[in-house]
Amino acid sequence: MKDIIDKISQTYNVLGSFQLTNTNAIELRNFLKDNYREAYKPDERLVVFLNDDNIEQMLLTLLDHLLGIDIGSYFVIVVSNNDNIEQSVISATSTGYDKQPLEIFKNNSLIKLDEVEHTNNDRLASLKLPNSTFCVLPWISLETSPVGGYKPCCNIFEEITDEDNNPLTVHNATIDECQNAFSMNKLREEFLQGKKPVACNRCWSEEDVGRNSKRINTLERMKDMGIRNIQWDNKPKNLMFVDLKLGNICNLKCRICGSYSSSTYATEELKQMPYEERKGSYPKIQLVNGAWPRNKELSFWDDLRNHTYDIRYLEFTGGEPFMIKEHFEFLQMLIDLHLAHQIEIHYNTNGTIYPKEAEHIWLHFKHVEIAFSIDAVGDKFEYQRTEANWEKVNENIIQFKKLREELNNISLQVCSTINIFNVMYLDELAEWIDQQDFDYVHWNMLHTALQHCITSLTPEAKDVAYSRLVNSQSNHKEAFQRVADFMMNAEGVSAEELIADISKMDLRRGHNLASAHPELAVAIGYNG
């Protein structure tokens, strides 16, 4: 070995060497971590000696660890005299992420191979999925709900349960217990058998009409991460995707929200109740359970620390995620473990808070995507997102844009949820959006609370909204056309229910729909 290192050292500065066998992958990871640098000098190299047996598998292991630790294969030389080493390196690289094959030291000389072109199909094939309707998320993902329930993903209908159908939550189960729970084993078994689980109907119905479902989007994301080598048996794998709805602690009480997702909404509901009915009531339970991220008695954050090594994607929503300081401590821990560079983060925020303390944390991560939940402008915004201040939100967005200029890993999105209150006013929202220079605009259709879904508008209101949507001259008119079609092709609650719901809330909050939304009030026959 020393002779070979001496020979390579005539060309490169060798930082370290490692003998890879079939049994020392963990030691390999430690070796690579010890030699990780944010930037290598052009002549610096790591050298990995390969045993002659099972060379393809060893190359895949090496490439996976390089990817996980974020070391470019350009800086690695593999040593092997195997007759097929060149072909093996090309074939391992072709199913990966990094186009640059490993440099080879063979028969006393260095061999540089040409770059390998990856096709989409190569990368998808590298995941080695057992069948065409397979979803990886029940193996590698976990979602927490605002009140602490667990699911394998946000799109599935059913929460994780034990064999007696009892829900497992952050209050009563560990992450391992969730991943190995009865319902998860059953779900994984169904996917392995090529079935389409009923609980996943949201994905199947999207795919039936030719749209990309969460299942497909996840595969797209995953294949571009270059992840391979996963054995899709019935056992759960290390967590890669974690979607944390960080409780229901929120400073707003948006019209389209409820006690399940907002502590301010729950507090308002509780105050409406006679004192003696409050204990054990729905909003009270949501308030208690929804504070779970700050509950020091729960071991959730410690538990999550033991599942961090393969995390590649973290999603934080709420409540309002920027109010949960505990998640910044978790992110700092990922930085301290040198894992941040391999992790992408996504936030959904209401935009009312600029978390200054996050600036020095976010810069360490691979990418940070911040999506602002903004559905209207000016006084309409303040009516719909009660307790929010439009001016302050705009000031914050300016701050976020400055941060995007300073760091090169931040992108900003707007996520506008289309509902009964804003559907007539999407043009003015679109105009504001187009002035903001967001990296991405997402028009999200509200489905879950039927009284707020645009299908619940009265026929007169639908006519007004339809005409505005189809005659829109905005840059988003194609999206608006789809909104118009959806609105006209389904039904919602009755006009009486709609008006009663709005009136009740207006009365409670001292608001009047007609002040900020006069056309909508007239169209639904609302008299305050």
Binding interface with ligand SF4 (CB under 6 A):
135, 137-138, 152-153, 155-156, 200, 202-203, 213-215, 250, 252-254, 257, 261-262, 265, 318-320, 350, 373, 385
Tokens of 45: 């190299």
The secondary structure of residue 75, as a DSSP letter, is: G
Tokens 């009531």 belong to residue = 281
Q: How far is the CB of 186 from ligand SF4 (least distance, A)?
A: 12
Helix (H, G, I), strand (E, B) or coil at 394: helix
Give CB contacts under 8 A, 24+ apart, made by 55-60. Answer: 55/80, 55/82, 55/84, 55/85, 55/88, 56/88, 56/91, 56/92, 57/22, 58/20, 58/21, 58/22, 59/88, 59/89, 59/92, 59/102, 60/92, 60/228, 60/229
Tokens of 403: 């941060």
Q: How far is the CB of 238 from ligand SF4 (least distance, A)?
A: 17
Q: How far is the CB of 249 from ligand SF4 (least distance, A)?
A: 9
User: Is 446 or 513 the residue whose CB approaches ligand SF4 more closely?
Assistant: 446
User: Is 126 or 264 the residue whose CB approaches ligand SF4 more closely?
Assistant: 264
User: Is 266 or 339 the residue whose CB approaches ligand SF4 more closely?
Assistant: 266
Distance CA 63, CA 94 (A): 11
User: Is 70 or 206 the residue whose CB approaches ligand SF4 more closely?
Assistant: 206
User: Is 103 or 190 the residue whose CB approaches ligand SF4 more closely?
Assistant: 190
Q: How far is the CB of 472 from ligand SF4 (least distance, A)?
A: 25
Instruction: Identify which of 441, 450, 383, 380 has the alpha carbon closest to the alpha carbon of residue 411.
Output: 441
Q: How far is the CB of 155 from ligand SF4 (least distance, A)?
A: 4
User: Is 156 or 287 the residue whose CB approaches ligand SF4 more closely?
Assistant: 156
Peptide bond into 290 cis (omega under 30): no
User: Is 14 or 192 the residue whose CB approaches ligand SF4 more closely?
Assistant: 192
CB 132 within 8 A of CB 213: no
Q: How far is the CB of 421 from ligand SF4 (least distance, A)?
A: 12
| SS percent in the chain: helix, strand, coil, step 5 | 45, 15, 40
Taking residue 86's Cβ as centre, other Cβ atoms within 10 Å add up to 15
Q: How far is the CB of 199 from ligand SF4 (least distance, A)?
A: 7
User: Is 61 or 259 the residue whose CB approaches ligand SF4 more closely?
Assistant: 259
CB 245 within 8 A of CB 318: yes
User: Is 132 or 489 the residue whose CB approaches ligand SF4 more closely?
Assistant: 132
Distance CA 364, CA 340 (A): 6
Distance CA 374, CA 304 (A): 31
Distance CA 382, CA 378 (A): 7
Q: How far is the CB of 234 from ligand SF4 (least distance, A)?
A: 15
User: Is 57 or 212 the residue whose CB approaches ligand SF4 more closely?
Assistant: 212
Q: How far is the CB of 182 from ligand SF4 (least distance, A)?
A: 16
Q: How far is the CB of 251 from ligand SF4 (least distance, A)?
A: 7
Distance CA 64, CA 229 (A): 8
Q: How far is the CB of 248 from ligand SF4 (least distance, A)?
A: 7
Distance CA 447, CA 415 (A): 15
Tokens of 255: 């019209």
Between strands 103-106 and 109-111, the pairing is: antiparallel
Residues in the chain: 528
Query: Which positions ≥6 away from 226 have C-beta within 8 Å?
Result: 63, 64, 67, 96, 97, 98, 123, 126
User: Is 363 or 449 the residue whose CB approaches ligand SF4 more closely?
Assistant: 449
For residue 347, which amino acid is it? Y
